[in-house]
A and B are shown apart, each in its own frame.
Chain A
Amino acid sequence: MKYGKVYFDDVKVGDELPPLVKGPIQQIQLTRYAGASGDFNPIHQDDEFARAAGMGAVFAHGMLSMGFVGQAVTDWSGAGTVRKLGVRFAALVRLKDVVTCRGRVVGKSSKDDVHLVELEVWAENQRAEKVVTGRATVALPVRS
């Protein structure tokens, strides 16, 4: 099972998340994400529209990449642990791009029996250019 359980006690500042590799991005995934999310902006589906808009060609929904980053976090910390996830979309993800999501523990805190781990998270393309940068906070269980 790839969804390991991680305990607050075992996490150290500086720990890195296992990288999550997604792609190469295909048009069908953008179409599928449009249907699942309800974001039917033609800029993600129709090259002609994207060119006319000055964007050169179609590109992925930012929220698709953010979803990948969310998965990189929950593959490590478990589903339902995310308290906060915030990102900036730094560069466009294009068809055929390979997106690798990464993260690193930058802080830990405990208050009123809630044990939070703060992460720096980001996603990069195959040229190691950051396409998404952000922060996540997860609540983890403690060893009893």
Chain B
Amino acid sequence: MPIQINKSLIGREYPPYAVTVERGKIKEFARALGDANSLYLDDRVGAASGWGDIIAPPTFSVTFRDETADTAAFLRELGTDISRVLHGEQEFELFRPLQPGRTYLCRAKVVDIYEKTGRSGPMAFVVRETSIADGSNEIVATMRGVTVVRL
């Protein structure tokens, strides 16, 4: 009997959360990828660049989590747990690179949940979108992620 996914979460918006980007966190992230680009790692190169400081790699905003939110609770509410989920798709749109010392406001929403049967059996797809705004409330990036739940 496959598990039931709670589709009533479609449309759910989560309370906005602020993230302040730490300089060391950008470097740690670039190094974890093995990306030695000096615009991510070298403060002097960043300062001398058109951006005025180091910038973050394009996928960095995946680290923007609501520290007060309980991921396990979200999965429970969805009707699953962490052992059944896979990352299906991910997209970033960037209007400006993210930079250290700035505080961004993130707004996340569940935009869709649908089911499909693939080669490995029935699966549910949970689509979430997050917008990232800077201090002047301008959207600087958006992310869209699809989580696959093995039913």
Chain A interfacial positions (CB closer than 8 Å to B): 3, 22, 29, 32-33, 35-39, 41-43, 49, 52-54, 61-64, 66-68, 70-71, 73-75, 79-80, 82-89
Given contacts A37-B63, A52-B83, A87-B91, contact A80 B33 (CB under 8 A): no
- Given known pairs A52-B83, A89-B89, the reply for A79 and B39 (CB within 8 Å) is yes
> Does B32 contact A32, Cβ atoms closer than 8 Å?
yes
Most A Cβ at <10 Å: residue of B33, B63, B90, B94: B33
- B interface residues, how many (CB within 8 angstroms): 38
Q: Is the CB of B57 within 8 A of A89?
A: no
Contact A89 B88 (CB under 8 A): yes
Residues of A within 8 A of B76 (CB): none
B residues in contact with A70, CB < 8 Å: 33, 35, 57-59
**Within the assembled complex, what's the spacing in Å between the Cα atoms of A80 and B38?**
12
Establish whether residues A86 and B33, one from each chain, have CB atoms under 8 Å apart when the complex forms: no
* Residues on the A chain within 8 Å of B95, using CB: 83
Using a CB-CB cutoff of 8 Å, which residues 73-128 of chain B contact chain A? 82-95, 97
Contact of A85 among B32, B39, B59, B97 (CB under 8 A): B59
Known: A33-B33, A82-B94. 16 other contacts (CB 8 A): A3-B38, A37-B32, A38-B65, A43-B83, A62-B86, A67-B57, A70-B58, A71-B34, A73-B58, A79-B39, A82-B92, A83-B94, A85-B58, A86-B90, A86-B144, A87-B90
Task: With a 10 A CB-CB cut-off, give which of B28, B58, B97 has the most chain A CB atoms.
Answer: B58
Contact of A74 among B34, B57, B83 (CB under 8 A): B57
Q: Would A80 and B55 count as touching, CB distance under 8 A?
A: yes
Cβ B97 vs Cβ A67 within 8 A: no
Distance to closest chain B CB from A45 (angstroms)? 12
Contacts of A63 on B, CB cut-off 8 Å? Answer: 59, 62, 87, 90
A36-B32 contact in complex given A43-B82, A79-B39, C-beta closer than 8 Å: yes
